Amino acid sequence: MKIIVIGSGLMGVATAYYLSEQGHEVIVVDRQSGPAQETSFANAGVLHPSQASPWNHPGITWQILKWMGKENSPFLLRPSALPSLLSWGLTFLNHAKPENFQANLRVNTALANYNIECVEELQKNHPFDYSAKRLGSMKVLENNQDLENAKEQIALFQAMGIECQVLNQAEVFSKEPALVENGSKLVGGIFYPKDQTGDAHQFCLKLVELIKRKQVQFIYDLNVDEFSLANNKITGIKTNKGDYSADAYVLAAGSYSPLLVKSLKLKLPIRPIKGYSITLDMDNWKLKPKMPVIDEEAHVAITPLGDRLRAAGTAELNGYNLEINAQRIRLVLQQVIARYPEAATNIEDADINPWTGLRPTTADGVPIMGETPIKNLYLNTGHGHLGWSLAMGSGKIVTDIITGSVPDINAEPYALARFLK
């Protein structure tokens, strides 16, 4: 089969890998000049089955209202974005009900656990360097109530196959000695030994190198303008470089996926949630952090990636705006200063490499993968804040669906059909 994959971010590249493993003729197209130039470029770098919860958790409504319009809040809804969020927003809030949240958490966790198996298999068969570490991750806690809640939630995590240990203050500092004890507000933490880290951009570059050798073709600087449709089948894509056609098409265009299928009268409940990252060299750090530290309250993760430190997070509903807002970058930088004050005192603006990306976020917090009502159009999109934790598992599942194999995990919860009922 000849298959066109639209998008060379994590989802497009992972899907192309598995399709090529099955011997299909694959063409990946992207409007950028290389792979993973958009949201997959500089994310927080954590593959974390432990944090697969959708952002629409019980309590999110009050948090959003409390923070609305506040420039320094971790989750910022800009009033100007409201008109684009109406029906998506209602579904988003409906899924914050405890029973919906729990169900969505379970399906994301199942996919994230499966993803780790896929990543390990890839690394066994094709070892390549992407600054990967398998040292776990640690969520840090600054108040005693959160620590008590963490102890109560351990059984729930374990039931979903997530190993974790609640740590007291001393154990946190012994697990990550780079965290500075003096003046720290930390009261404890949760350690997730199975989480991994790695540079998503580097990963995509290496995977592209690998699959190019298997004859996967990449066409860059190619903007897909629209699909051509006849008899409920895609007959081609119209692009700035002319028309292309194939037997099947995979849409992996991240936050832009809903825009591309509008003319097909297909509604994808995905909206962009903006986030930021900074990346610093740690050459002069005396004690370098070794594992990612996550502050859920601040929506920020700080991750060592080789000799660099990546801090990423915050969430902003602001449409497709991609401006770098200095105040939001400052929020991320403040987290680095709070956790590693000695090493971070001399950081200059010129050292931080600010970046922003749009998380393709579905209304229920679960990605959309597989078939559409259009015969030969498939989706691999909507992975929100979890794309790095879900990419390889998603690529494998979408490939299984296209090729008629039974996916290793139940793919029904990820189907677009759930929104079409």
Binding site for ligand FAD (CB under 6 A): 6-12, 29-32, 36-40, 43-46, 223-224, 252-254, 256, 260, 275-277, 301, 312-313, 357, 359-360, 381, 383-389
Distance in angstroms (rounded) separating the CA atoms of residues 2 and 359 = 29
Nearer to ligand FAD, 143 or 245 (CB): 245
In the beta sheet, which residues pair with residue 355? 277
> At a CB cut-off of 8 Å and minimum separation 6, what does 290 contact?
133, 135, 176, 178, 304
* Chain-centre distance for alpha carbon 211: 22
* Chain-centre distance for alpha carbon 16: 18
- State residue 13 phi and psi, 5-degree precision: -70, -40
Nearer to ligand FAD, 12 or 147 (CB): 12
Q: How far is the CB of 243 from ligand FAD (least distance, A)?
A: 14
- State residue 32 phi and psi, 5-degree precision: -85, 175
Nearer to ligand FAD, 52 or 147 (CB): 52
Q: How far is the CB of 198 from ligand FAD (least distance, A)?
A: 10
Nearer to ligand FAD, 52 or 282 (CB): 52
Nearer to ligand FAD, 382 or 413 (CB): 382
Q: How far is the CB of 387 from ligand FAD (least distance, A)?
A: 2
Nearer to ligand FAD, 227 or 340 (CB): 227
Nearest to 255 by CA among 236, 275, 235: 275
Amino acid making up residue 136: G
Nearer to ligand FAD, 133 or 359 (CB): 359
Distance in angstroms (rounded) separating the CA atoms of residues 77 and 412 = 31
Q: How far is the CB of 313 from ligand FAD (least distance, A)?
A: 6
Q: Pull the structure tokens for residue 16.
A: 């192309």
Amino acid making up residue 238: K
358: enclosing H helix or E strand:
strand 355-362
| Pairing label, strands 188-192, 165-168 | antiparallel
Q: How far is the CB of 63 from ligand FAD (least distance, A)?
A: 18
Q: How far is the CB of 289 from ligand FAD (least distance, A)?
A: 15
Q: How far is the CB of 358 from ligand FAD (least distance, A)?
A: 7
Q: Quick check: 196 and 116 in contact, CB under 8 A?
A: yes
Distance in angstroms (rounded) separating the CA atoms of residues 115 and 48 = 10
